[in-house]
Structure 1
Amino acid sequence: MTARPDLRRRLVAEALGTAILVATVVGSGIMADRLTEDVALALLGNTIPTGAILVVLITILGPISGAHFNPAVTAVFVARRDLAAAEGLAYAAAQVAGGIAGTVVAHVMFEHAVLAVSPTVRTGAAQWFAEVVATFTLVTVILAGLRFRPDAIPVLVGLTITAAYWFTASTSFANPAVAIARSLTDTFSGIRPADLPGFVLAEFAGAFLAAGLIGWLLATPKSTTIPVATPAE
């Protein structure tokens, strides 16, 4: 049995993975915006790299930390007692720090200000509901995937986020750490800081709704067999 990596290594893996994920989201958004004025094409240019890098990051860092890269996912694993509460808080801090670092990396690469507050308005009941749906779908895929096809988790998550970019009104942030990081970029992928609370609450709500439903759906059925007395010989 392979020993579980120590907490420091797991935290570095979470920070590194979230940093690369956000650098991909923000960087591909900047590149797409530079290359085309067609918003749909720019969104496609933002979508494909994000889904692709998730497959890669979960494959290479999953064996170290579990590759959460997402405080809402980590909170679900804490609630399921797969991760200690103190470790969960440390994971979330590493994810947020890594996400902000990812924004900085993307900005430096494209010669933007190191950090810039986003003016992009993303608010309202439809946007919040979309984040509930996006995070619910993501966590459902993760938990069901872990039960039935753990080897396929990287592809399942990458495809889920790729699809959710297009079928949700919010373009599927589905991740509080990523949302925070994206509030610090005045680019195609940004979100106004004032809109963060609604998004973050919706993401946690979607995550726990999924955990509750999937916990029930995948519960081991109780035996309904009625024991039959065996006549004494």
Structure 2
Amino acid sequence: MKKLLLLLCLALGAQLAHAHGEESRVALESDLVKSQAGKVIYQFQLVDTASNKLIADTDLQLSHEKKIHLLVYDPSLREFQHVHPEFKDDAWSVELNFSVNGNYWVWAQGQLAADGEEFSSFNRIEITGGAAAWPAPPILEDVRSGTSGIYKVDLGTNKISAGKMIMLSVKLSRTDGSQPQIEPYLGAFAHVVAVPEDGDSLLHVHPMNGSKPNEGMIHATFPQAGSYRLWIQYIDGGILNTIPLSIKVF
């Protein structure tokens, strides 16, 4: 498997837990490597390469309220899904929805119950028969403000340097001037998934709560310079929002 460049940063209360790795101990294996666009039942197995044993739901502990987080995106970094598979009959399964062609990344993230080791493993699935694939690789500018309907996200404007821990503010608001009603999403203020232009690595962070209910702070280390797509996910007034932004790392 191609070497991964991974930094997973989880905010747990007032503490941060970090996991680093080039090769994941856990392999994601699936017979479904190509499919038609539309609703797809994606089945896969997780294998502990240290013991060559299948990983069941009982082998995992809850991580932000779920056993597995499945993160899916296309090479253009325009299409994105964050779903949570269920385990049955020795396999994990979840419904995915594809409308655009492309060779998608599928990442599984979780935490082993036996020793607490966190893992992030990927495979690919080629989607055909849908809308034409977006141009790739993407050209990402530094865009730190975005909206979805009346819902708005603003990131801090400070410079981000590769290889250094940064603090980046997150402010959630509404364009109509009404007060946002922020609720925890999977046990966190928000979920932030960052992917470099080539798509080959993943940064998944959970901002810590700030001094106001609609403000948070990202603590993260971006391992290399370049442009990154960010998907910000949070709940406002019972509605789950996913807002794409992008940043430059120097």
**What interval of TM-score do these two structures reach, taking the shorter chain for normalisation?**
under 0.3
Q: TM-score, normalised by structure 2?
A: 0.24
Q: TM-score, normalised by structure 1?
A: 0.25
In terms of fraction of residues, the more strand-rich structure is: 2
Larger Rg: 1
